[in-house]
């Protein structure tokens, strides 16, 4: 690979547009943010993307209870940690850089687009840190946070057991209080990403377990911090803690990140939070992971688009329907074929629309952390399952389009796009499948708040339309968006009425409701991007451009507007099919 044909290029121009034009960062200099972002892009492009296929082919190995990563993956992680990237948005008191979540979301996308398997370990570690910061004792914070944020130690989530999957109330792992005030943890966990590896000196497991006589179900779960290694008598963190990896999964994808079966055999654990309230602390960790997973879906769409676009420009096959385009060649590049362009633009609008949604969620996360805004928290709670469920599903569709654009070459390893699909398939599963996100959205976040959270967002949609009702250039988009701002709450009320008679109506409608919500949510962000782009273009043409708008590429802005039109005309109509499907009800699902 050479610099003239890079494996992946971070979409910095679009990220700059979102950071500079679509939101205001009042506490941090935007130039500083952009500089950090560019350095992250450089690392991902030069260190992570080139080893993505190699890590996939080499995989991880397990011997005598120790997992070994592919050598270049291990070296890349250690370089990443030593450069200080782990603690990008973590508090300074623990060694972090305390930069905004909006920046961290961009960096997270870049990492996963460049190397999905690599990105998982830093993401899990920082989520574990959030749980410790939110619920751990001062002693736990002092002991563990600085080393985890430095990347010397890494973290995991240990929830799932073989018999229960996502039904955490069935967890059997036990925790027995000890005479020294700690707990003895016993049980087996499965599907633990980076549960064992040789890139860090210690691994800090956050384990859900049940204290004796605790209530049944999730109300009886407690969360424990269980290090793989403890301090010995000399103060060195080298004493084994009866934590062992007893197997690694042979998976469909993400081969360079080990998915482990872990055994805790009387391991020393430290309570995080209070007994029987572990699910609260775990969800603090999981909600952040769900937003991170949403950005994995965005990164998958972006990477799929880049691979597809590069191939479509070079690959020649047949002549264009409207006449010869490449007279010096036997056939025309396939980018001239309308159906290929349809797939390329579909990938592009999912990547850029999902990125805008992810940035908005990150902005809400910043607001909730800074001032505890209840409205921001309510909105974030509602948008999180939409972002996680919808963006990962669309990422997978984008990867499927990449295979289709490559034709037979997309089905073989050499092209690299089949790995994108294999790696990306997991994002729709972990941190809660799409079906679970859908139930969470409709059942808890919308109906569970009597529609209050939804009304906050649809009010934003209505306000955008009202404030731009004289905007003739984007009138068609705004007219369509205004229709959905009314229809979405009306559908929700109808579903709520049906659910009062039969709770299964919620489950029957939930997937289509989530997908409908996803298409409409992205429509809002595409309308905003089109309006902003048009305003910047107008200011340039009127000679009134600001210092910021002067740096925005005019071709890029025109492309934004054209892509918004494509989204509204070609993609948003899918919402209507989901509307019709969700309203058919439970009755047609009974005869299997």
Q: Read off the pLDDT of residues 299-351 as tens digits, 9 standing for 90 and up.
A: 999 999 999 999 999 999 999 999 999 999 999 999 999 999 999 999 999 99
Q: For residues 272 and 286, what is the distance between their CA atoms, to the nearest angstrom?
A: 15
pLDDT of amino acid 25: 52
The answer to whether 253 touches 241, Cβ cutoff 8 Å, is no
Low-confidence spans in the chain with pLDDT less than 70:
1-5, 24-29, 544-551
- Ramachandran category for residue 115: left, alpha or beta (phi over 0 → left; psi -120 to 50 → alpha): beta
CA atoms within 13 A on the CB side of 458: 18
Q: For residues 510 and 498, what is the distance between their CA atoms, to the nearest angstrom?
A: 13
Using a 10 angstrom Cβ sphere, with 0-12 exposed, 13-18 middle and 19 or more buried, the burial of residue 519 is buried
Tokens for 481, please give them: 């968006």
Q: In this structure, how many other beta carbons lie within 10 angstroms of the beta carbon of residue 474?
A: 20
pTM above 0.85, yes or no: yes
pLDDT of amino acid 29: 59
The answer to whether 421 touches 396, Cβ cutoff 8 Å, is yes
pLDDT of amino acid 3: 47
Evaluated on CA atoms 108, 109, 111, 117, the torsion sign reads positive
At 508, phi and psi to the nearest 5? -70, -35
Evaluated on CA atoms 575, 581, 584, 589, the torsion sign reads negative
Q: Specify the residue for token string 């209070």.
A: 274
The secondary element (H helix, E strand) that includes residue 485 is helix 475-501
Q: Which of 309, 269, 115 is nearest to 189 (CA)?
A: 269
At 532, phi and psi to the nearest 5? -60, -45
Q: For residues 571 and 529, what is the distance between their CA atoms, to the nearest angstrom?
A: 16
The answer to whether 344 touches 305, Cβ cutoff 8 Å, is yes
Q: Which of 264, 240, 248 is nearest to 188 (CA)?
A: 264
pLDDT of amino acid 552: 74
How do residues 477-515 score in pLDDT, each as one tens digit? Answer: 999 999 999 999 999 999 999 999 999 999 999 999 999
At 419, phi and psi to the nearest 5? -65, -40
CA atoms within 13 A on the CB side of 450: 0
The answer to whether 422 touches 411, Cβ cutoff 8 Å, is no
Separation of first and last alpha carbons in the chain: 52
pLDDT of amino acid 2: 39
How do residues 249-294 score in pLDDT, each as one tens digit? Answer: 999 999 999 999 999 999 999 999 999 999 988 877 777 899 999 9
pLDDT of amino acid 282: 82
pLDDT of amino acid 551: 60
DSSP state of 333: B
Inter-residue long-range contacts of 550-555, CB under 8 Å, 24+ positions, other chains counted: 551/16, 552/17, 552/21, 553/13
Q: Which of 128, 126, 207, 115 is nearest to 168 (CA)?
A: 207
Q: For residues 32 and 211, what is the distance between their CA atoms, to the nearest angstrom?
A: 48
Q: Which residues participate in catalysis according to the annotation?
A: 431
The answer to whether 382 touches 441, Cβ cutoff 8 Å, is yes
pLDDT of amino acid 550: 53
The answer to whether 140 touches 128, Cβ cutoff 8 Å, is no
Q: Which of 426, 425, 429 is nearest to 403 (CA)?
A: 425
Q: For residues 487 and 424, what is the distance between their CA atoms, to the nearest angstrom?
A: 32
């Amino acid at each position: 690979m050479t610099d003239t044909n890079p494996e992946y290029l971070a979409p910095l121009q679009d990220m700059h547009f979102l950071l500079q034009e679509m939101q205001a960062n009042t506490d941090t200099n935007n130039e500083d943010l952009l500089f950090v972002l560019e350095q992250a892009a450089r690392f991902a492009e030069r260190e992570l993307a080139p080893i993505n296929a190699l890590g996939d082919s080499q995989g991880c190995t397990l011997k005598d209870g120790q997992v070994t990563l592919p050598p270049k993956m291990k070296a890349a992680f250690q370089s990443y940690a030593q450069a200080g990237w782990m603690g990008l948005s973590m508090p300074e008191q623990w060694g972090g850089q305390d930069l905004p979540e909006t920046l961290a979301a961009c960096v997270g996308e870049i990492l996963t687009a460049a190397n999905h398997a690599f990105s998982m370990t830093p993401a899990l570690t920082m989520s574990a840190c959030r749980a410790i910061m939110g619920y751990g004792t001062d002693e736990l914070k002092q002991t563990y946070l600085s080393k985890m944020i430095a990347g010397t130690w890494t973290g995991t989530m240990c929830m799932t057991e073989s018999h229960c999957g996502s039904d955490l109330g069935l967890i059997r792992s036990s925790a027995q209080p000890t005479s020294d005030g700690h707990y003895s943890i016993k049980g087996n966990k499965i599907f633990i990403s980076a549960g064992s590896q040789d890139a860090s000196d210690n691994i800090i497991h956050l384990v859900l377990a049940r204290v004796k006589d605790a209530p049944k179900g999730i109300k009886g779960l407690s969360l424990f911090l269980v290090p793989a290694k403890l301090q010995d008598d000399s103060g060195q963190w080298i004493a084994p803690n009866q934590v062992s990896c007893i197997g690694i999964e042979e998976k469909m994808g993400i081969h360079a990140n080990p998915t482990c079966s872990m055994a805790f055999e009387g391991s020393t654990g430290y309570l995080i939070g209070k007994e029987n309230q572990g699910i609260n602390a775990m969800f603090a960790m999981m909600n952040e992971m769900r937003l991170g997973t949403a950005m994995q879906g965005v990164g998958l769409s972006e990477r799929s688009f880049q691979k597809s676009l590069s191939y479509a420009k070079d690959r020649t096959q047949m002549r264009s329907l409207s006449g010869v385009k490449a007279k010096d060649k036997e056939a025309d590049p396939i980018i001239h074929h309308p159906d290929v362009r349809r797939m390329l633009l579909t990938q592009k609008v999912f990547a850029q629309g999902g990125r805008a949604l992810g940035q908005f969620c990150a902005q809400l996360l910043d607001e909730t952390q800074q001032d505890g805004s209840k409205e921001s928290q309510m909105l974030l709670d509602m948008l999180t399952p939409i972002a996680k469920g919808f963006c990962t599903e669309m990422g997978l569709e984008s990867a499927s389009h990449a295979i289709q654009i490559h034709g037979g070459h997309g089905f073989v390893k050499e092209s690299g796009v089949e790995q994108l699909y294999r790696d990306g398939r997991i994002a729709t599963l972990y941190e809660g499948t799409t079906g679970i996100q859908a139930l969470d959205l409709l059942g808890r976040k919308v109906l569970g708040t009597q529609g209050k959270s939804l009304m906050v967002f649809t009010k934003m949609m209505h306000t955008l339309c009202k404030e731009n009702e004289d905007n003739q250039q984007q009138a068609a988009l705004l007219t369509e968006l205004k229709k959905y701002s009314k229809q979405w709450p009306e559908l929700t009320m109808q579903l709520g009425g049906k659910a009062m008679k039969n709770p299964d109506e919620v489950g029957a409608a939930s997937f289509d409701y989530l997908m409908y919500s996803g298409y409409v949510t992205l429509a809002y962000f595409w309308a905003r991007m089109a309006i902003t782009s048009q305003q910047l273009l107008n200011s340039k043409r009127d000679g009134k451009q600001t210092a910021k708008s002067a740096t925005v590429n005019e071709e890029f802005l025109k492309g934004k507007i054209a892509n918004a039109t494509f989204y509204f005309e070609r993609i948003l109509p899918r919402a209507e099919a989901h509307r019709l499907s969700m309203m058919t009800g439970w009755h047609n699902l009974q005869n299997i």
